[in-house]
């Protein structure tokens, strides 16, 4: 536990730099870092980290290396466009516990922009919220990592262990960015990921599989419709079969630790669809993309085998095939009682004046990479947000300030500090 004087100095340093932190967050939001279009935002992250005197590393994700890993998700975009950025701080004297401060730079598409009440990329601040695609998920968190780190130095303190500040790609689609960082050799005694988590700690989350289903039909002129086979109609039946599998998995929630009381933990989402060639031709094909979830402890291979079986025995009567098209990830549980959690709980308590709460989230998190494959306690903990992946995404400013303070205190307590002044 930090002494009160150091706590005060660090908290004051966060407050002093907070306007700059918000400006930087807004600048990040103004870079539309959609999948495979993260380069300019990564340039900005690189420049900011480099200006802090960190040892810089930027590299392109490598398909061969990644695809050899069990946690790899097939990537459907060009690898040339995917680069990770890491800045490493090395202490003058190392006697503390090392740390990875991780965040993803990629954001999901906006949907029709005219349905937003403002441009998704203007990062306007209004009534205590910053708006914009990626504001909550998770550019506020990326900036919080950076400015929490800054706060120690501004307070006249040097962390006493290595810190890797990571800005990764592919979190919203495969998880290959963090996986590549782990494969590159970045490891530590703990990881912090400030995803938008309502000022709480993630205790458990689901794994995710992405796949594309193709349903085949028999084309014909509509005048003799009965002689054809409508692939789009059949696709609806296939979707119904998948919903039944989803219901079966949800019915089993009672046997999965931390998922017993969740409302509908397993969600299958039909996220994209296309099919047919002509309004007056019975369609010969329909394709749709699905995101499925699985409980921690279920292997992605097992879940995938059940999904494939469901598709092959579909009641549609159609020829159905499926390919994996992204995430092939397992869920994880953050085991209770780790030192890292204890330090975060203490930091949170000092800032918020209340106990740290944990919860289960039915969405994908890169925490699985570090937890499952790195054996590192991973604290996914971050600010209050609304409408992530929706219209008018926003992040709560005061929450960002407090989360930044908490992370700064966590760094000091976890890594240890030495006085520089």
From 41-49, 135-143, 208-216, 332-340, span contacting Zn ion (CB under 5 A): 135-143
Applying the rule CB under 5 A, the residues between 186 and 205 that interact with Zn ion are 195
**CB 138, min distance to Zn ion, A:** 4
Q: How many residues bind to Zn ion according to rule CB under 5 A?
A: 3
Rounded-to-integer distance, Cα 415 and Cα 165, Å: 14
Applying the rule CB under 5 A, the residues between 221 and 280 that interact with Zn ion are none
Element (H, E) at 16: helix 4-16
Q: Rounded to the nearest 5°, which phi and psi values hold at 331?
A: -80, 175
Cβ distance to Zn ion smaller for residue 350 or 361: 361
Cβ distance to Zn ion smaller for residue 143 or 239: 143
Rounded-to-integer distance, Cα 231 and Cα 300, Å: 28
Cβ distance to Zn ion smaller for residue 195 or 413: 195
Inter-residue contact 94 to 159 (CB < 8 Å): no
Cβ distance to Zn ion smaller for residue 156 or 363: 363
Closest by Cα among 169, 145, 188, 191 to 84: 169
**CB 141, min distance to Zn ion, A:** 8
What does the per-residue mask of binding to Zn ion show for 138-177, with x meaning CB under 5 A? x---------------------------------------
Longest dimension (CA), the chain: 86
**CB 133, min distance to Zn ion, A:** 12
Q: Rounded to the nearest 5°, which phi and psi values hold at 227?
A: -85, -10
Q: How many CA atoms lie within 13 A of 388 on its CB side?
A: 20
Cβ distance to Zn ion smaller for residue 137 or 413: 137
Strands in 217-314 per DSSP E: 269-275, 285-294
Q: At what angle do helices 39-51 and 140-154 cross, to 10 degrees?
A: 10
**CB 322, min distance to Zn ion, A:** 26
Instruction: Count Cβ neighbours within 10 Å for each residue of 287-324 and write b for 16 or more, e otherwise.
Output: bbbbbbbbbbebebeebbeebeebbeebebebebebeb
Tell me: cis bond preceding 352? Omega within 30 of 0 counts. no
What would the two tokens of residue 148 be? 């929490």
366 is an interface residue for Zn ion by CB under 5 A = no
Cβ distance to Zn ion smaller for residue 242 or 380: 380
**CB 332, min distance to Zn ion, A:** 15
**CB 363, min distance to Zn ion, A:** 8
**CB 94, min distance to Zn ion, A:** 31
What would the two tokens of residue 274 be? 């296309």
Among 38, 137, 330, 366, binds Zn ion (CB under 5 A): 137
Using CB positions, name the residue nearest to Zn ion. 137
Cβ distance to Zn ion smaller for residue 102 or 325: 102
**CB 116, min distance to Zn ion, A:** 19
| Four-residue CA torsion sign, 24, 29, 35, 39 | negative
Cβ distance to Zn ion smaller for residue 89 or 327: 327
Rounded-to-integer distance, Cα 64 and Cα 302, Å: 24
User: Could you count the other beta carbons within 10 Å of the beta carbon of residue 244?
Assistant: 12
**CB 197, min distance to Zn ion, A:** 10
Cβ distance to Zn ion smaller for residue 183 or 385: 385
Element (H, E) at 178: helix 176-183
State the residues that interact with Zn ion by CB under 5 A.
137-138, 195
């Amino acid at each position: 536990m930090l002494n009160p004087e150091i706590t005060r100095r660090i908290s004051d340093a966060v407050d002093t730099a907070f306007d700059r932190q918000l400006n930087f967050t807004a600048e990040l939001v103004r870079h539309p870092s959609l999948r495979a279009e993260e380069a300019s935002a990564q340039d900005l992250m690189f420049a900011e980290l480099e200006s802090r005197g960190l040892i810089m590393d930027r590299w392109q994700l490598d398909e061969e290396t990644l695809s050899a890993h069990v946690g790899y998700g097939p990537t459907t975009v060009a690898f040339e466009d995917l680069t990770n950025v890491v800045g490493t701080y090395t202490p003058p004297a190392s006697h503390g516990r090392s740390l990875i401060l991780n965040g993803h730079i990629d954001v999901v598409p906006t949907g029709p922009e005219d349905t937003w009440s403002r441009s998704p990329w203007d990062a306007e601040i209004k009534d205590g919220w910053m708006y914009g695609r990626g504001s909550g998920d998770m550019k506020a968190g990326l900036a919080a990592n950076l400015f929490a780190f800054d706060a120690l130095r501004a307070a006249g303190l040097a962390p006493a262990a290595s810190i890797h500040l990571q800005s990764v790609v592919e979190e919203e689609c495969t998880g290959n960015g963090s996986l590549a960082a782990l494969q590159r050799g970045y490891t530590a005694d703990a990881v912090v990921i400030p995803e938008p988590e309502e000022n709480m700690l993630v205790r458990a989350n689901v794994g995710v599989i992405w796949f594309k289903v193709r349903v085949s039909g028999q084309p014909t002129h509509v005048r003799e419709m009965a002689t054809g086979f409508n692939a789009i109609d059949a696709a609806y039946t296939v979707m119904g079969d998948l919903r039944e599998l989803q219901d079966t998995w949800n019915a089993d929630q009672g046997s999965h630790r931390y998922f017993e009381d969740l409302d509908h933990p397993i969600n299958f989402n039909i996220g994209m669809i296309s099919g047919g060639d002509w309004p007056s031709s019975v369609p010969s094909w329909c394709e749709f993309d699905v995101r499925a979830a699985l409980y921690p402890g279920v292997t992605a291979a097992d879940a995938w085998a059940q999904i494939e079986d469901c598709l092959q025995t579909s009641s549609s009567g159609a020829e159905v095939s499926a390919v994996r098209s992204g995430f092939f990830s397992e869920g994880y549980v953050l085991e209770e009682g780790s030192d890292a959690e204890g330090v975060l709980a203490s930091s949170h308590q000092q800032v918020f004046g209340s106990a740290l709460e944990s919860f289960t989230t039915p969405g994908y998190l890169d925490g699985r990479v570090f937890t499952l494959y790195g054996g590192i306690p991973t604290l996914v903990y971050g600010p209050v947000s609304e409408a992530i992946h929706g219209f008018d995404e926003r992040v709560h400013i005061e929450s960002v300030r407090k989360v930044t303070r908490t992370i700064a205190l966590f760094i000091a307590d976890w890594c240890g500090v030495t006085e520089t002044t």
